[in-house]
Chains A and B, each alone.
Chain A
Amino acid sequence: MIVEVTDLRREFVVRRRAGRLRRTRDVVAAVDGVTFGIAPGECVGYIGANGAGKSTTIKMLTGILVPTSGTVRVCGLEPVRDRTTLARRIGVVFGQRSQLWWDLPLRDSFRLLGAIHRLPTSAWEPRLAECVQLLEMEPFLDTPVRQLSLGQRMRGEVTAALLHSPELLVLDEPTIGLDLLSKERLRAFLVRERAERGTTVLLTTHDLPDIERLCDRILVVDHGRVAFDGDLPGLVARVGAERVLVVDLAEPGPPLIDVPGTTLRAVEADGLRQHLAFRKEDTTAAAVVAAVSARVELRDLAVHEPAIEDVVRRLYLE
């Protein structure tokens, strides 16, 4: 096991105003007895709603937050005690923060990180060249980081985390705020990184496609506890994640209750807009569209993918 977490718990004290001068002091457990292990080479999606305890867990895994109780071992080390040793063996991307030098050209950050990790030039330069080529970073390598777009910066962040060829890559919301193309480019890169080097990956995300493309395994946390541990089909089967086809008809029509493989979820404006829910296993969007247009005249349509939050919420409602 490259990551071993046993009965991990972290409490925070939250002070609230209660009246003019009085303050109440509440103890909140952000992580409340989490146990899991990650085998070398696995890619695990660590998901949950905001405030579920994802980032808190990651901070404890990287040694920058002291657990209240429980044990953590990463790469055989104790993260808080061996923080700097561990930092040589893992790569971390905090999606909301930057590890690049804000005022300097992007290239300088890589040179500095190479020096900080005490890597000989022969070790990090080929690695950088590879990332630059795959992530198409050549055009902005000499641009100061503060002038990069979010998508460009995020490519730089991931490269910075991988420059020292870590055994474990921890990504805290790596695709947050990126456009579709940038997300896809990053995913393709991570897929390749895993295939070529067998890097173990732990990532948190709110993006279902991230998990579909990248993860063999999902850990769902809710209120600081592991609510699900398994693969994506298993999760979807358990909660029945649905896609929803929203159709706008040319004129008000009867409720579309008899389309095979779908359930009518909602009817708006006297039947001008109807919501049909269906599961991936039962039918395809194309088949549903064909079945609908055989019955009525379609003006517009949209397919809504199940949001990770919905899946998690349903899991918790069980």
Chain B
Amino acid sequence: MSVIAVGPAVALAGAGYRRWATYRQAALAGVFVNTVFGVIKLSILLGIADSAGGTVAGYDAASLSTYAWVSQGLIAVVMIFAWTELADRVRTGDIAVDLARPVDLQLSWLAQDIGRAAWALLSRAVVPIVFGAIFFGFYWPTDPTAIILLPVSILLAVCVSFAGRFMVNLTAFWLTEIRGLVLLYVLVAGLLGGHLVPVQLFPDWLQAAAYATPFPAMVQFPINLMTGQATGLRALGEVAVQVAWAVGLLLLGRLVLSRATRKLVVQGG
């Protein structure tokens, strides 16, 4: 398989950005919902911290606020919720068009997803975080390593998330209808990734289970850099884990894709 060149990748990322930037009202509605749920999430977390005597698992009120608002802001960026675009193309047979292009299928979709994430960062992440910082207490990171690694970590979170979603979508080649599987994936990813509550608040056994999956690399790790949970070497270590998951899952995805295309049946006339 030919690896995608810089020119096409940049063009595709641009297309991903512009495609999503077309629908501004949808972004606005998303921002509103994410912000409202941010208030709810933070209220619950502050209640827990309060009953635990002010801090819980290393979070105080300010860092819990940062956790809540950054995790809400990242929802659209790393696309924690259902994404079935590729599976839909498999189900309808439109995947034929993608396969008839002289680009690597996986990497061309990754490029478009990074473009999409860039738009989401500007349109969906900024408002909840600024809102939270203004109206609630907020912990701003001070560790230089964490601050430098933050953009890298967010990009890697997008890559890991994409690699996972891509593989779930690929199962459509065998299953055709994958809505049930996607729903299960979203629930598990949201929970184990640390989107609902921080992974640090889990009981030990659940933490161990979570860290054995790629999901914290999609959500918890970039948030840790903002909340001060990961600084210095720990920050570097978590980013290294993200790199490993991104590379590993993308390679696994390629393997599954080559299996899929070998047995490929394009649906429809």
Binding site for B on A (CB under 8 A): 12, 50, 55, 59, 62-66, 83-85, 87-88, 92, 94, 96-99, 101, 103-104, 108, 111-112, 115-118, 144
Contact = CB atoms under 8 A, between A and B. Distances in A.
Given A66-B262, A84-B104, A103-B19, A97 B96 contact: yes
Nearest to A83: B99
B5 interface: yes
A61 to B, nearest CB: 11
B18 interface: yes
B97 A112 contact: no
Contacts of B19: 101, 103-104
Contacts of A112: 11-12, 15
B103 A84 contact: yes
B22 A104 contact: yes
Tier of interface size on chain B: 20 to 34
Nearest to B105: A84
B93 interface: yes
B269 A96 contact: yes
A273 B268 CA distance: 41
A59 B102 contact: no
Contacts of B97: 94, 97-99
A144 B21 CA distance: 13
A116 B264 contact: no
A118 B15 contact: no
A145 B12 CA distance: 17
Which 7 pairs, one residue from A and one from B, show the smallest C-beta to C-beta distance?
Answer: A115-B11, A87-B102, A88-B102, A64-B99, A103-B19, A99-B97, A55-B269
Interface string B32-74: 0000000000000000000000000000000000000000000
Contact of B100 (A62, A104, A115): A62
A85 B2 CA distance: 9
B17 to A, nearest CB: 10
Contacts of B266: 59, 64-65
B49 to A, nearest CB: 43
Max chain B CB contacts within 10 Å: which of A12, A66, A111, A116? Answer: A116
B7 interface: yes
A118 B261 CA distance: 24
Contacts of A144: 22
A96 B264 CA distance: 19
Contacts of B24: none
A242 B198 CA distance: 76
Nearest to A90: B100
A65 B93 CA distance: 11
Interface in B84-115: 93-94, 96-97, 99-104, 108
A103 B22 contact: yes
Given A104-B18, A116-B101, 17 more contacts: A55-B269, A62-B100, A66-B262, A84-B1, A84-B104, A87-B101, A87-B102, A88-B102, A94-B97, A97-B96, A98-B94, A99-B97, A101-B15, A112-B11, A115-B10, A118-B5, A118-B7
A26 B105 CA distance: 32
B265 interface: yes
B151 interface: no
Nearest to B95: A64
Given A87-B101, A101-B15, A112-B12, A64 B264 contact: yes
B268 A96 contact: yes
A108 B269 contact: no
B264 A66 contact: yes
A79 B108 CA distance: 20
Interface string B214-232: 0000000000000000000
Contacts of B23: 103
B217 to A, nearest CB: 30
Contacts of A55: 269
Nearest to B92: A97
B139 to A, nearest CB: 38
A225 B5 CA distance: 42
A102 to B, nearest CB: 8
A62 B266 CA distance: 12
A115 B10 CA distance: 9
Contacts of A92: 100
Contacts of B103: 84, 116
A27 B18 CA distance: 45
B96 A104 contact: no
Contacts of A50: 269
Contacts of B108: 116
B104 A65 contact: no
30 contacts: A12-B265, A50-B269, A55-B269, A59-B96, A59-B266, A62-B96, A64-B266, A65-B265, A83-B99, A84-B102, A84-B104, A87-B101, A87-B102, A94-B96, A97-B94, A97-B96, A97-B97, A104-B18, A104-B22, A108-B15, A108-B18, A112-B12, A112-B15, A115-B7, A115-B10, A115-B12, A116-B11, A116-B102, A116-B108, A117-B102
A62 B12 CA distance: 23
Nearest to B97: A99
Nearest to B1: A84
